[in-house]
Amino acid sequence: MSIRNLDDLLAEGVSGRRVLVRADLNVPLDKQTGDITDDGRIRAVLPTLGALTEAGAKVVVCSHLGRPKGAPDPQFSLAPVAGRLGELLGTAVHFATDTVGESARATVAALADGEVALLENLRFNKGETSKDDAERGAFADQLAALGDVYVDDAFGAVHRKHASVHDVPVRLPHVAGRLVLREVEVLSQLTGEPERPYVVVLGGSKVSDKLAVIEALLPKVDRLLIGGGMCFTFLKAQGHEVGSSLLEAEMVETCRNLLERAEGKIMLPVDVVAADAFAPDAAHDTVPADGIPSKRVGLDVGPKTVAGFAAAVKDARTIFWNGPMGVFEMPAFAHGTRGVAEAIAAADAFSVVGGGDSAAAVRALGLDEKSFGHISTGGGASLEYLEGKTLPGIAALEK
């Protein structure tokens, strides 16, 4: 990857310079209290921010949070993130109540060397996500005016053609932060010549969301294990009834073709946990994958499947996992995800957790993050990288 990185910038010297850092602070918030429920993405950017503050930079952090409609919305404010970021950095983080307006300009202007400011949610401005180049460019001009140099450390957003990711690097000298550099280095190992056996574990809700990555990976992997809601469309393609489980009927024929082309590489559940409702306290039991009752919904893979998947990853040398095996947010249906995750963690392999719900599951289930080779901060970005797509944020850094 021909991209200048943070060490190149630090070697030049950043003391007294305004460094605009695009971070991915899109953390989950409790709907009732507004508290941060998982600060993993905040912690992931600390190495870059810490290096810049120690070098005397005036650090200006920007990020999105959630999906506001291009206007201020209190439920998506980054204010709680500013507080947590300050706690983790061990220093006060000055918070601007807008992104490129009067508060942002004044907050940045008041920064002393080694201090940090966080701008309000980028997506409170229509220009951030606009598909109109002129509108997006106008917002990028305003944002770039707040920095002397740009650092992209938001891997979770590099697959978006947004102003802060794609257009600002054109306007400022730019480098990749430590997180982005690490993510690309890790994923490059998976797309190059990974050590074999190479096993991929995919879960999540929909086949349609993972179809492109399945197509891209199938010729490269030794085994492809499929769980989560998406497995039911594959089971249907095998001729099994799936009750009221999640099903993409329009994808059944596609799954049938994939199974035929896979030549035995694809491994599906042999048993599932079927419930009488989609609820945490629903009555449930374990049934064969080819015998799901008509009025039951599959919410997790069963113990025989966990054992089979665990055996498949045990001898692997490279593992990529993206997507939970079941509705892990409900304790009754978290056993499959936990069991498979623990097997991946125990394998003598280079294991990569592909961000998103998988990374959230690792933390929610209390698993040791250090047991995995790498936990990505970008679910969608990591999948698109493995698909071989051009990521706008990476392409902008390479220019």
Instruction: Give the active site residues.
Output: 41, 206, 356, 380
Can you tell me which residue has the tokens 């180049």?
Answer: 133
- Tokens representing 22 are 């695009």
Is it true that the peptide bond before 303 is cis, omega within 30 degrees of 0?
no
Which residues in 278-332 belong to E strands, given as ranges?
284-288, 297-301, 318-322
Contact 292, 274 (CB under 8 A): yes
Contact 289, 323 (CB under 8 A): no
CA 186, CA 180: separation in Å to the nearest integer?
A: 10
The residue among 164, 167, 213, 185 whose CA lies nearest residue 5 is 185
CA 185, CA 158: separation in Å to the nearest integer?
A: 15
Contact 279, 227 (CB under 8 A): no
The pair phi, psi for residue 271, each rounded to 5°, is -150, 155
Which residue type sits at 56?
A: G
Buried b vs exposed e over 302-322: b needs ≥16 C-beta within 10 Å?
beebbebbbebbeebbbbbbb
CA 151, CA 174: separation in Å to the nearest integer?
A: 6
Tell me the CA distances in angstroms from 181 to 2, 306, 376, one per residue in order.
Answer: 11, 34, 12
**Do the strands 93-95 and 198-202 form a parallel or antiparallel pair, or are they unpaired?**
unpaired
First CA to last CA distance, the chain: 11
At residue 136, the 3 state secondary structure works out as helix
Which residue type sits at 154?
A: A
Contact 333, 299 (CB under 8 A): yes
User: Which secondary structure element, helix H or strand E, spans residue 40, and what is its range?
Assistant: helix 40-44
